[in-house]
Amino acid sequence: MPDAWRLAVGTLTAVPVAAPRQVDRTTARNALLLAPLAVLPLGIIVAAVLILGRTADLPPLATGFLAVGGLALGSRGLHWDGLSDTVDGLTASYDRERALAVMKTGTSGPAGVLATVVVAGVQAAAFGALTDEVVIAGTLVCLSRCALWIACCTRVPAARPDGLGVGFTATVPVLVAAPAVLLLGVTGGLVVLALVAHAVRRLGGVTGDVMGAAVELALATMLVSAVAVL
């Protein structure tokens, strides 16, 4: 379990930790299951930014963007890169190999940039509306990582045999992945399911980029839903 903690924290946050002594599929699965707890520091960062923004009487949208920025720094922008690459790949070509090649380049095209701006803007606006509900905002950051359980379900294949995400792919049992739909909220869960299904249909499976995209889309959807309810 210590290796799983190190892998989860080291992969999903910028918190410095020792490297895992051994990384196998069991370690990868356990790291994914620990993901919501491993990113607790990110939830705290968001809550702290929202409190500071409210205390300083900053405009809500400005506070929201600062929260998004703090969250990106705390995760080394890993999931944002995944969102950009996924959208670029899926919009570049209907050919599977061409789409995967575009995703692997790591450069951001117009579609990826636009997707990043839109999703970041949605998250920022929602965070700004939750400055009086910082616990909820921080909790949603942590719960959004349950999107990885769906993307890495044993029923979901890998799109290619290499890449950062391949060691995590198809490691989470269905009985664990299924409740993630509820933990993400019905809407958030459906968004992630739709993304994963689309990736399997177009790419033959998921990649690390798709996993990152799932997290950011899940968080945006959950935040909007929370604002609508509150």
Task: Using the predicted structure, report yes or no on whether residue 23 has a pLDDT greater than 90.
Answer: no
- pLDDT score recorded for residue 20: 86
Share of the chain above pLDDT 90, in %: 84
- pLDDT score recorded for residue 19: 84
pLDDT digits (tens, 9 = 90+) for 138-177: 999 999 999 999 999 999 999 988 877 888 999 999 999 9
- pLDDT score recorded for residue 113: 95
- pLDDT score recorded for residue 21: 87
Q: How many domains does the chain have?
A: 1
Q: How confident is the model over 28-46, as a mean pLDDT?
A: 96
Q: Which residues, listed in sequence order, are joined to residue 206 by a DSSP beta bridge?
A: 158
Q: Which tokens is 230 given?
A: 């509150």
Q: How far apart are CA 156 and CA 146, in angstroms?
A: 15
Q: How confident is the model over 194-198, as a mean pLDDT?
A: 97
For tokens 């890993």, name the residue: 78
Read off the pLDDT band of 121 (50, 70, 90).
very high
Domain span at residue 15 reads 2-229
